[in-house]
Structure formats: structure tokens, C-alpha cells
Amino acid sequence: MSNEQHDPDTRLRGESFFNEPGVAGFTHRAFTKSMGYDEADMARPLIGICNTYSEINNCNSNLRELADAVKRGVLMAGGFPLEFPTISLGEIFLSPTSMLHRNLAAMDTEEMIRAQPLDGVVLLVNCDKTTPAALMGACSADIPTIALSGGPALNGWFRGQMLGACTDCRRMTTEHQAGTLNDETYRLAEDNVFRSKGHCMVMGTASTMNSILEALGIALPGTGATPAVDARRVRLAEHTGRAIVNVVRQGLRPSDLLTRQAFENAITLLCALGGSTNAVVHLPAIAGRLGIDLPLDLFDTISRRTPVIANIRPSGKYQMEDLFYAGGIPALLRQLLPLLHGDALTVTGRTLAENVQDAEIQNSDVIRSLDQPLQGEGGLAILRGNLAPDGAVIKHSAATPALLHHRGAAVVFHDVDDLRARINDPDLPVTADSVLVLQNSGPLGGPGMPEIGNLPIPQKLLQQGIRDMVRISDARMSGTAYGTIVLHVAPESAIGGPLALVQDGDEIELDLTNRRLHLHVDEAELARRRAQWQPPALAYRRGYGQLYLRHVNQAPEGADFDFLRGRDPVQITLQPKF
């Protein structure tokens, strides 16, 4: 009998599982004993270690070692740790894009937590999508949870210059294509950019989302910036193992911690970090699982009042290793306390303010003060206008200031294939003042909102020394990318959003101050084009792809599946007995 809807006794889920009457309990115990465990183990709270380790995911390659440390901690605190795998999303290994599979991984995590008799779970995550996917699933399952990331890789170094993945992968490729970097240097740099285990070491999506875990209160202090290969990361894993048993004892669920205030803290940290635009998709998706609405305008409101105080690439100068030496996310959060809900509860059993009260800044150039920030307001802005009625995102902290107020003629690419075919055509009618537009790259059109919003600069402009232009799409971009790039335009072009109606030569105006994105084409002409518009053929006719196309939401709702938003009315029963 399932104990999920009506648990008649006061036992934990795991204890009930091992003590079921009749053949069920006999089997549960006998089969567990086959792995070398005994009744003493089975009497303890059962802690699942949900591991996204995979050999086809370099960023998560230290999670086996961390799982062992978590187990030590669980055992020390009186729990019974059992590790299980879930889908791992290695950013560079997945086609057409890892984002297509984020919701699949979230379903895997949720269903495994639901189906197995766990009392608590530790989520081992790291690469870009593994963190939001696991957290989305855990929020839906809503049993006691702590997230632990694998940590950032060490700084790359080459000929005395600090390198970061993959801001420098892009920068050096651009210079190589422009002819300003020779073949040998380009190849040698490749050997030096990513020199340890861990995730990309600039403020990309993984750094952003794993730092945000601390602000959400769902991870221990130190999770965000402690390097993957530092012994302190292993100790953090052991502490996490001990902490999850306490969280089970207290019966603290994600829904007790991830309140609206916690999400506002997360957005404040995102803005202070100059963090990834991908968080503007992931945070509404995570919050949506708990029935919390995070409208895009909330990101803009918080961004306007939050200065960028993390001097980290691509918005700043340093990288995650430097942020760790400077005091890490706890020191940064302490600096931000006047802008945070410091009384938000966390998995330590203490408030966010209590967690960071002793954190000290060791380098005030890496972690700036609120009155000497890197930028006076947060790195993100939400744009609206007749080209993006439901909103669009720009990371202006990583843009060219002179382009943030710009009007230019559109050069339109119908989709990614069209972009690849024509971007370097010597006859492409493009100048430095043009606005590059990419259609059909949103949640449905991509599909999966691929990270191609940072359209390449046409080769002939590269050779003229041009390194940035205004670029607009319904796609996403990597958090490690930079430039004057408008993303996540909603509604997307594949469902007939205004982006689908743009034609070559149309004037487009970007006005950051007024948060405006305007297509200078009169309404009668737009109506004529709308009447002629034909939806593109969608990519999948079967399997997960078909499920995705039927149910994915637009970017402002987090591109989650419509049937997964909101809280499950049937809560998994927890019966602490301590």
C-alpha cells in the first residue's frame, strides 16, 4: 500500500517501507540486505542522494566524490544514505540544446523522489540546466531537500592571461575569424582554458544558478563559489549530509523555504552578480512549481534598485575562483543585506542574515560595496514594446553602452539554418548600424530556446573591427556571452508573435532608459503581414519532443510544461518521529 496519501502511523516514509506487513516488507528488507545493509540502517531516515554525475558531462564529473562525502555526513548524523542517478544535462554535449531536456530531467527527479521511499534528498548538480531541473522536480515532490553543486572550475591561464570558459572561447574564436589570432595560439589556448573539474568559471548560468541556491536558502553557505577541486568543497558535501538529516528532523520542505521573499532574494543576488539571463527563465519555472508567480516586471524592479557589486566576467574583471578568495557568496550576501529579506529561513535552520553575519570581504575590488558598485543598477532589464508585448530581456551590464539607445535597419534571418547559411555572405546588406534579427528560435520554434541569441557578427564587419551590434531574437544566450543582445522576445515568432512579422529594412529602436523595443512599422502594414503569416513546421512528431511541443509555455512563464506548474494538491506525507 502506498504511504503517500494516507500514512496511518507516525513512521517516516523509509521506515514504513521497511516495516510493511507481509511479503512487501519481507521483500523490501531482504532486497536491501542484498546490498550489505541491515535493520539498523533501515531504522534510520532514508536520505536519497540524487546524483547527476555523468561521464558525458564534464562539469558534473566530481559528483561521485562529493556523493561519498555526503554519505559520510548522513551516516554521522544518523541517516541512511542511498545514492541514485537521474538524467544529467551536459551543456555542450546535447543536441539540439540542453534546455529542451530541462523539463525531462525535472520530471525524472520529481518522479524518482515520489516513487522511492525517501525521507529527504540531496540534489547533486552543477552544469547549467542540472541545477534548475533538479530543483524544479524537488519543489514539485516537496520533501526535505538540500542542493549541493559541484562547484566552479579553477581559472584558466595562458601566457600570463586569465582565461574563462567560455567567455574566452567566444572572444578568441571571434579574433581567430577576424584574422587577429593565429592558428597556433588559438589551438594552444584550447589546452589551457578549462584546467580542472567543475563548471564554467565565469558568471555564466551554472555560476549564477548555483550561487542563487544560497540566496534561496536551499543550500549551505559556500555552495556558490567554493572551487570544485578545493578540499573545502568536499567538507561542504559532508556538512550537507549532516544538514539534510536535521532538515528531515525539522520536517522542512522546499515550500517552507522557497517563499516569495526567498525568490526576491534570489533575483536581488542575480542582479548584484550581473548574472545570467537564463535565470530569468529558470526562476519563474522553479517558483511556478510552488504556485508562486514571478512576473518579468519584478526582475526589472529589483534590477533598478540593485547595483552590480560582483566584479566578475563577463560583466566585470575577475572569475569565480577570485570570488571565493574574496569571501564568496556569503560575503556578497552580507553586503547586500539592506536589499534582502534577511529573515528568510534556510536549510541551516537559521535565517539568511544569521548565515552570513560573520562573512568577511577579503578583496573589495572583487566584491564591491553598495556605494562603490561596478554599475549603479542591476545588470538585467526587461524591455517591452510592439515588438515584445509580453517582454524581452537584455543583460545591459555586458553590452556596449553606446548601443543601448540605438535605431537601425533590420537584417532578418528566418531561423538558425538561414543564419548559418547567410551570416558571412559577402553580399549580405549589413552595416555596423544594422539590427540583426533571428526568428523561430524560441521555446517552440528552436525548439528549446537554443543559446544562439548572441548571433555572430558578420565576417566582413569583424574585419572592419566591429565587435558588437544590436541583436534581437526569441532565443537565449549563454551566461558567459556578452554584447548588446535582446533575448527571450515574447510571444515568440513561431506562434505568430510580432517578431515573426519583421522584414529586412524595417527600422527597430532599442531604448534602454525607457525599457522600450519598438518596430517602426505602422499597424495597418503589420496587420497585412499578420494575415499572410504561416506558422513554421514544428520539429517533432513523436516521443518526448512531441510532448514538449504540446505543453511548453512561453519564456516569461519559465518555458515549463503547462501541466507541471502549480503545487500538487496531494502532498507526500512526512511523519517525523524524533
Instruction: Give me the least distance between CB of 128 and ligand FES, in Å please.
Output: 5
**Shortest distance (Å) from residue 139 CB to ligand FES:** 22
User: What are the backbone angles phi and psi of residue 81, rounded to the nearest 5°?
Assistant: -90, 130
Q: Considering the complex, what minimum distance in angstroms separates the CB of residue 213 from ligand FES?
A: 14
From residue 429 to residue 458, what is the string marking binding to ligand FES with x (rule CB under 6 A)?
Answer: ------------------------------
- In sequence order, which residues have a C-beta less than 8 Å from that of residue 90 and are 6 or more positions away? 54, 56, 57, 58, 59, 60, 98, 127
Binding part of the chain for ligand FES, among 104-112, 199-207, 323-331, 387-395 by CB under 6 A, reads 199-207
Q: Which stretch binds ligand FES (CB under 6 A): 197-205, 244-252, 384-392, 532-540?
A: 197-205
Q: Which is nearer to ligand FES, 151 or 391 (CB)?
A: 151
Shortest distance (Å) from residue 259 CB to ligand FES? 28
Candidate list 199, 242, 368, 384; residue touching ligand FES; CB under 6 A: 199
Distance CA 391, CA 157 (A): 39
**Cβ pair 128, 278 in contact under 8 A:** yes
Q: Could you tell me the smallest distance in angstroms from the CB atom of residue 134 to ligand FES?
A: 14
Nearer to ligand FES, 127 or 257 (CB): 127
- If one counts every other C-beta atom within 10 angstroms of the C-beta of residue 27, the result is 11
Q: Total number of residues binding ligand FES (CB under 6 A)?
A: 9
Stretch that binds ligand FES, among 196-204, 220-228, 280-288, 326-334 (CB under 6 A): 196-204
* Shortest spacing between CB 169 and ligand FES, in angstroms: 10
CB of 483 to ligand FES, least distance (A): 18
Interactions with ligand FES, residue window 458-497 (CB under 6 A): none
Burial of 376 (0-12, 13-18, 19+ CB in 10 A): exposed
CA distance 317 to 333: 19
d(CA 195, CA 124) in angstroms, rounded, equals 22
Q: Residue 394 CB, nearest distance to ligand FES (Å)?
A: 21
List b or e across 344-373, with b for residues whose CB sees 16 or more CB atoms inside 10 angstroms. bbbbbeebbbebbeebebeeeebbbeeeeb
Which residues ranging from 43 to 102 are in contact with ligand FES (CB under 6 A)?
59, 91-92
Rg (alpha carbons) of the chain, rounded to whole number: 24
- Tell me if 302 contacts ligand FES by CB under 6 A: no
Q: Which is nearer to ligand FES, 32 or 167 (CB)?
A: 167
- Rounded-to-integer distance, Cα 570 and Cα 578, Å: 24
Min dist CB 124 to ligand FES, Å, is: 14
- Cβ proximity to ligand FES: between 59 and 326 the closer is 59
Query: How far apart are alpha carbons 519 and 506 in whole angstroms?
Result: 7
Beta bridge partners of 312: 318
Query: In whole angstroms, what is the distance from residue 525 CA to residue 348 CA?
Result: 58
Going by C-alpha positions, the residue among 440, 407, 410, 411 that lies closest to residue 423 is 411
Q: Is 437 exposed, middle or buried (0-12, 13-18, 19+ CB in 10 A)?
A: buried
Residue 195 engages ligand FES in binding (rule: CB under 6 A): no
**Closer residue to ligand FES in complex, CB, 92/162:** 92
**Closer CB to ligand FES, residue 206 or residue 252?**
206
* Least distance to ligand FES, CB of residue 127, Å: 3
Copy the grid coordinates of residue 537: 513546421
Other CB atoms within 10 A of residue 73 CB: 23
Nearest Cα neighbor of 97 from 449, 420, 416 is 449
Longest CA–CA separation in the chain, Å: 79
Binding status of residue 206 toward ligand FES by CB under 6 A: yes
User: Given the rule CB under 6 A, which of 1-9, 35-43, 200-208, 466-474 is the region that contacts ligand FES?
Assistant: 200-208
Cβ–Cβ < 8 Å for 319, 313: yes
Contact 214, 329 (CB under 8 A): yes
**Considering beta carbons, is residue 59 or 435 the nearer one to ligand FES?**
59
* Shortest CB 383 distance to ligand FES, Å: 26
The nearer residue to ligand FES, 59 or 469, going by C-beta atoms, is: 59
> Using CA atoms, how far apart are residues 217 and 83, in angstroms rounded to an integer?
23
Residue 128 interacts with ligand FES (CB under 6 A)? yes
Residue 127 binds ligand FES, judged by CB under 6 A: yes
44 vs 199 by CB, closer to ligand FES: 199
Q: Which of 151, 164, 204, 453 binds ligand FES (CB under 6 A)?
A: 204
Nearest to ligand FES of 319, 439 (CB atom)? 319
Nearest distance from residue 91's CB to ligand FES, in Å? 4
> In the bound complex, what is the minimum distance in angstroms from residue 479's beta carbon to ligand FES?
8
Check binding of 374 to ligand FES (CB under 6 A): no
Closer to ligand FES at the Cβ: 92 or 572?
92
Asked if residues 347 and 220 have their Cβ atoms less than 8 Å apart, the reply is: yes
* Nearest alpha-carbon partner for 281 in 67, 451, 57: 451
Rounded CA separation 350/344 (Å): 8
Among 200, 252, 352, 559, binds ligand FES (CB under 6 A): 200
Q: Which residues lie closer than 8 Å to 438 by C-beta, 6 or more apart?
A: 413, 415, 416, 419, 452, 453, 455, 471, 472, 473, 474, 475
Binding segment for ligand FES (CB under 6 A), chosen from 20-28, 67-75, 198-206, 248-256, is 198-206
For the bound state, the minimum distance from the C-beta of residue 125 to ligand FES, rounded and expressed in Å, comes to 11
**144 vs 151 by CB, closer to ligand FES:** 151
The set of cell numbers assigned to 121 is: 534528498
Phi, psi of 75 (to 5 degrees): -60, -45
CB-nearer residue toward ligand FES: 443 or 479: 479
The distance of closest approach from Cβ of residue 453 to ligand FES in the complex, given in angstroms and rounded to an integer, is 16
Q: Where are the alpha helices (DSSP H) in 386-454?
A: 416-422
Query: Which residues have a Cβ under 8 Å from the Cβ of 36 and sit 6 or more positions away?
Result: none
| Nearer CB in complex with ligand FES: 200/290 | 200
Task: Give me 301's grid cell.
Answer: 524592479
The number of angstroms, rounded, from the C-alpha of 411 to the middle of its chain's C-alpha atoms is: 30
**Which positions lie near ligand FES, rule CB under 6 A?**
59, 91-92, 127-128, 199-200, 204, 206
